[in-house]
Structure 1
Amino acid sequence: MSTATAGFTPAGARSTATRVRVTSTLGALLRQRLRRDRWQLLIWVLAIGALAAFSAESIEQTYGSAAARTQLIQLAIANPTILVLRGIPQGAGVAALTFFEIYTFIALMAGLMNTFLAVRHSRAEEEQGRAELVAATPAGRLLPTTATVVHATVANILLAVVTGLGFVAAGLPVGGSFVAGAATGGAGLAFFGVGLLFAQVFSTSRGSNGFAAAVVVLAYVVRGIGDATATTVGDGLRMRPAWPSWLSPIGWGEQTGAYTADDLRPVLLQVAFAAVLVAGVFALQAVRDSGAGLIASRAGRADASRRLGGAFGLAWRLQAPTVLGWTIGGALGGLLAGALGSVVNSSLAQNPDLAGIREAMRRIGAGGSGPLTSLFISAILSIVGVLAAAAAVQAVIRLRQEEASGTAELMLATPLSRVRWLLSFLAVGAIAVVLVLLAAAVAAGLSAVSAGESVTTIGDSFSAALAQSPVALVYLGVLALVFVVLPSWTAPVGWAALGVGAFVGIFGGLVQLPEWLRHLSPFADAPVVVGDVDWTGGYWMLGITVAALAGAAVLIRRRDLALG
């Protein structure tokens, strides 16, 4: 009797069958991720690619002459504010200037795209109980994570290609364009590893997303500090960053010197960093319990607090850690603004091109005619305004998460009205906006005064922070209306609108985007409060916010709950 007829399966056949089963399961998991993310990834990737193409074309049209580009680079080198926000110049060529103007921002967007992707397919799945169900199948516990890593790798390769094609479409050299694209995708992959690691550390998706996004913003800020303290080399149109830039994956991407050096070794550093983090994630996942984080959740009370007896109390309890994270980010941004503002003032006060420096600050949102320190603080607080708007966006997205998970349906089965439920979460979003901007104003004012600036700088800091409140609130109101009308589009529309709006409104002036396009962004119409005060744009945005919130409150009563 043969071994086959005796019921014995050769080891080679078993191994082949196992490989086929694993490949089939991995393919199914990967298809599920691609299908689930198809619209979100499409919006992110196309938005980043379009920004690359549009920025390159705009710079070509605006700074067509070598003299104009040289003047712009000299102004940037003389003004650390621009270096903090944009990067380090590597020459006055059109392509090199484009990379200098746009790379750090699209790398920031790539980082946020990837941290959200990592948490969505790891911690969020465990939090909803779906990961445990999948682990009970032949997929086990590690194969879904493998599928997520493959999914992210494919997404970042696509991002790199589309970004490179965007630069090529604008007429830039092919080789350098794809180096720039690779640096963007490499930064995204590095931050994917960060997001996946935090998904192991924290037991909630809110905590994982909040801390991972904070690391992305911190990497942008650390890179900015290193670039602001860079040294001029060569022909005076190139700079070498200080050591803090090497602490950031965004700073690594800058070192590729796209269009000049075209050095791909920093991209390998980004990929190696991601590989180390992913290896650590697999090691941690093999030893921790499903659903648990390395930092254990704090034990709750035996009896609920009286504050949880209402809709607002519950909304605040659910979002308090996230609000705290954004507030800390605002305080750090304000601290940076105040500390560097005095340095900028002393270093630029005797600059012969003071008018040009003021014009550059005006283009990044620091309008007015006040002291240079106040203008600098206003410019940095416009970036903090993005954090405040992000806090508002996340509050609305939390509404959608509560609805999709079915929790909202349980709450609305009580005497709680839909309008009150909606407004409770939006009130938390409004409070988050106030706390982020207040923390930034206090930190900026006190740090500037401690550095020797006038006490009046504190008042200017509060005015600059207040000017960002209508921008954040209009995101809160309009996205609330999107949530009511198109609930499944809440998250992709919210983050895409914030990313594109921040670039077009804050940085569009530096690359000379058309005025009509800039003013499609709320950030371009933030009130001017330094020097000549103008609140016209703020009043319009507050009016739009009130109208959008009223529309959302009326329409929420007329639609069915959208589960799943």
Structure 2
Amino acid sequence: MSATTTETRPPSSRHESPSSAAARPQGALRVLGVLLRQRLRRDRWQLLIWILGIALLALFSASSIQTTYGDANGRVDLLTLAIANPAILMLRGLPQGSSLGAVTFFEIFTFLALLAGLMSTFLAVRHSRAEEESGRAELVASTPAARILPTVATLIHGVLANVVLAVATALGFMALGLPAYGSFVAGAAVGGAGIAFLAVGLLLAQLMMTSRGANGFASAVVVLAYVLRGVGDATGTVTGDGTHMIASWPSWLSPIGWGEQFAPYTVNDWRPLLLDLALAAVLMVIVFALQSVRDSGAGLIPERAGRRDARPALNGPLGLAWRLQWPTILGWTVGGLFTGLLAGALGSVVNSSIADDPNLAGIREAIGTIGSGGSGPLTQIFVAAIFSLAGVLAAACATQVAIRLRQEEAAGAAEVMMSTPLSRVRWLLDFLLVGVIAIVLVLLAAGIASGLSAVASGEDASLINDSFAAAAAQLPVAFVYLGVLALVFVVVPRWTIPLAWTLLGLGAFIGIFGGLIGFPKGVRDLSPFSHAPVVVGTVDWTGGFWMFGIAIVATAAAALLIRRRDFAIG
């Protein structure tokens, strides 16, 4: 009977016609085009902010270097000071010549690549693991898009974003008269690092169960790449005329370190781009292999089984807010701990190196321009400068608290909470209280680590007090970010995440490194980090009190306004 049925079927149903076979790839291309347009539309404002922000940083950096170090002798002196101090090399980059373009690349590239890495990993997770969490990926998989095409669309979308970023960065350098060819090589170095980290983000989205875990892991990988590059640069070898260095092996473990090997404006070597593309290709093969066998919503790293009964602390919103965020807070606290260790351990090294070589006395002024500056004992200046980076970590922790508010709202969890007797104001303020605790923990860890490591390095015990004072000086900066971003969340909730990272990135770069590369004071004053109390010499808390006031007013306004708006889900 079945044989008869088979024979009575039309021939076209047994054998696919050539026109039908040709239509299949055309249909796949149409679906891919729809998915790609959806991603471009969804990310248009976020990517615009990221790309314009990074390009403007390139432009401002080139302008400041041209203004401050337009003289060749001044640039040579700058590189000499940097090469003599491993801490500056860890923060800045790899010297590769004293031309205007080479010094500009030395000053700004590592920070641009760090931002490109964060932009790319966030993009990757947003369109992969976050889609699975929300259930949208499963709905899309039930259409002709299936499971693989959305990942292909995300890959193309991320690559296009980094190509545009590379061109925008190059145009930013060219706008100040730097050579066009070298500028495009510099742009390719930034874009190449972004593409490599895009693949890292897509891989971690396959491994982790949640978008929060994938984003946290990806951010840690980007920061680790920055640190490995820093270690490789700081332990490199000086060559040639004393303004060039060859990085040691740790730099070759990092896509950011590969980007430095482009050496734009001097060598203009495109070969490191092959490393970025090769890493991305290998990781994407793994991603597609995992995507084809993994269940939707599942991760290769399983979540730990929860308790049968919740702890009493989860009976209230404060305990829930802490439970949702403690892994992130722990990560930033560990970062503060390592920053404090760096400050305490290297402070005595910098002090002794300057004392042994009077020709390097000008490095005091270079270090003093980092952060809010100050004058006094060199060890104190150095510790205060490094604690500006601890302030960035504390502000980043506060930023993620505001972002978590938006994520809870977008996922609909906040609206479910509002169906209980809990008020909106209480819900908001409990999250912000967790943010305050997180800020204190990050800076406290940095202060303790700095003081103890300084004493272990042979410094006077009084440096413990200096370390805690430097940590306390960063409190108002982090509180400003917490309060202002809470107000942004209440007033324009859909802009919370892109504005949060943009404001933090711009504020950190302008406030901490603006003085080092010669930004005008009016520009530096736009950053909260420029107004952190100066704890070297005579302590001035005027800027700190103003920032405390702004944070309190912004938090009060957020608490009042949240009562009057609807929740913005999705």
Give yes or no for TM over 0.5.
yes
The CA distance in 1 between the partners of 2:534 and 2:12, in whole Å, is 86
**Map 1:61-76 → 2, pairs under 5 A:** 61-76=67-82
State the partner residue of 1:115: 121
The CA distance in 2 between the partners of 1:341 and 1:270, in whole Å, is 35
Match 1:378 to one of 365, 384, 390: 384
- Secondary structure in structure 1 of the residue aligned to 2:563: coil
Match 1:129 to one of 121, 130, 135: 135
Q: 1:468, CA displacement in angstroms?
A: 1.2
State the partner residue of 2:315: 309
- Secondary structure in structure 1 of the residue aligned to 2:225: helix
Match 1:46 to one of 52, 58, 69: 52
State the partner residue of 1:238: 244
* Residues 284-317 of structure 1 deviation map (CA, whole Å, 9 limit, x = unaligned): 2223222121111112222222211111111111
State the partner residue of 1:101: 107
State the partner residue of 1:335: 341
State the partner residue of 1:430: 436
Match 1:395 to one of 401, 409, 417: 401
**Map 1:82-231 → 2, pairs under 5 A:** 82-231=88-237
- Secondary structure in structure 1 of the residue aligned to 2:362: helix
State the partner residue of 2:3: none
**Greater alpha carbon shift after TM alignment, 378-387 vs 345-354:** 345-354
State the partner residue of 2:21: 15
Q: Does 1:506 align with 2:512?
A: yes
* Residues 414-461 of structure 1 deviation map (CA, whole Å, 9 limit, x = unaligned): 111111011111111111111111122222222222222222222222
- Secondary structure in structure 1 of the residue aligned to 2:564: coil
Q: Does 1:405 align with 2:411?
A: yes
Q: Is the 8 A contact 1:336 1:444 kept in 2?
A: yes
State the partner residue of 1:325: 331
The CA distance in 2 between the partners of 1:93 and 1:229, in whole Å, is 23
The CA distance in 2 between the partners of 1:561 and 1:37, in whole Å, is 21
Q: Does 1:77 align with 2:83?
A: yes
* Residues 56-92 of structure 1 deviation map (CA, whole Å, 9 limit, x = unaligned): 1221122222122222222222222321211121222
Amino acid at match of 1:549: T
The CA distance in 2 between the partners of 1:458 and 1:226, in whole Å, is 29
> CA separation of 1:125/1:76 partners in 2, compared to 1, >3 Å: closer, same or farther?
same
State the partner residue of 1:344: 350
The CA distance in 1 between the partners of 2:24 and 2:466, in whole Å, is 67
Q: 1:514, CA displacement in angstroms?
A: 0.5
> CA separation of 1:354/1:535 partners in 2, compared to 1, >3 Å: closer, same or farther?
farther
Q: 1:339, CA displacement in angstroms?
A: 2.8
Q: Which runs of 4+ in 1 moved over 6 A?
A: none
The CA distance in 2 between the partners of 1:506 and 1:152, in whole Å, is 29
Match 2:503 to one of 464, 476, 497: 497
Give the TM-score normalised by the residue count of structure 2. 0.95
The CA distance in 1 between the partners of 2:550 and 2:169, in whole Å, is 34
**Greater alpha carbon shift after TM alignment, 282-291 vs 411-420:** 282-291
Match 1:419 to one of 420, 425, 436: 425
- Secondary structure in structure 1 of the residue aligned to 2:143: coil
The CA distance in 2 between the partners of 1:548 and 1:74, in whole Å, is 45
- Secondary structure in structure 2 of the residue aligned to 1:349: helix
Q: Is the 8 A contact 1:223 1:246 kept in 2?
A: yes
The CA distance in 2 between the partners of 1:340 and 1:275, in whole Å, is 39
The CA distance in 1 between the partners of 2:231 and 2:470, in whole Å, is 21
Q: 1:355, CA displacement in angstroms?
A: 4.2
The CA distance in 2 between the partners of 1:506 and 1:5, in whole Å, is 73
* Residues 508-562 of structure 1 deviation map (CA, whole Å, 9 limit, x = unaligned): 1111111010010001111111333222211111111001001111111111211
Amino acid at match of 1:206: R
Give the TM-score normalised by the residue count of structure 1. 0.96
Q: Does 1:31 align with 2:40?
A: no
* Residues 219-264 of structure 1 deviation map (CA, whole Å, 9 limit, x = unaligned): 2122112212222211111112222222211111011111000001
The CA distance in 1 between the partners of 2:348 and 2:224, in whole Å, is 21
Q: Is the 8 A contact 1:368 1:533 kept in 2?
A: no
Q: 1:367, CA displacement in angstroms?
A: 2.7
The CA distance in 2 between the partners of 1:484 and 1:289, in whole Å, is 36
Gaps of 5+ in 2: 1-6
Q: RMSD between aligned alpha carbons?
A: 1.7
The CA distance in 2 between the partners of 1:215 and 1:265, in whole Å, is 23
Amino acid at match of 2:176: A
The CA distance in 1 between the partners of 2:470 and 2:21, in whole Å, is 66
Q: 1:497, CA displacement in angstroms?
A: 0.6
> CA separation of 1:6/1:234 partners in 2, compared to 1, >3 Å: closer, same or farther?
closer
* Residues 87-115 of structure 1 deviation map (CA, whole Å, 9 limit, x = unaligned): 12122211111111111111111111111
Q: 1:186, CA displacement in angstroms?
A: 0.8
Q: 1:10, CA displacement in angstroms?
A: 3.6
Gaps of 5+ in 1: none
Q: Is the 8 A contact 1:58 1:511 kept in 2?
A: yes
Amino acid at match of 1:35: R
Identical counterparts, % of pairs: 66
Match 2:453 to one of 412, 422, 447: 447
The CA distance in 2 between the partners of 1:368 and 1:510, in whole Å, is 13
| Paired positions, count | 563
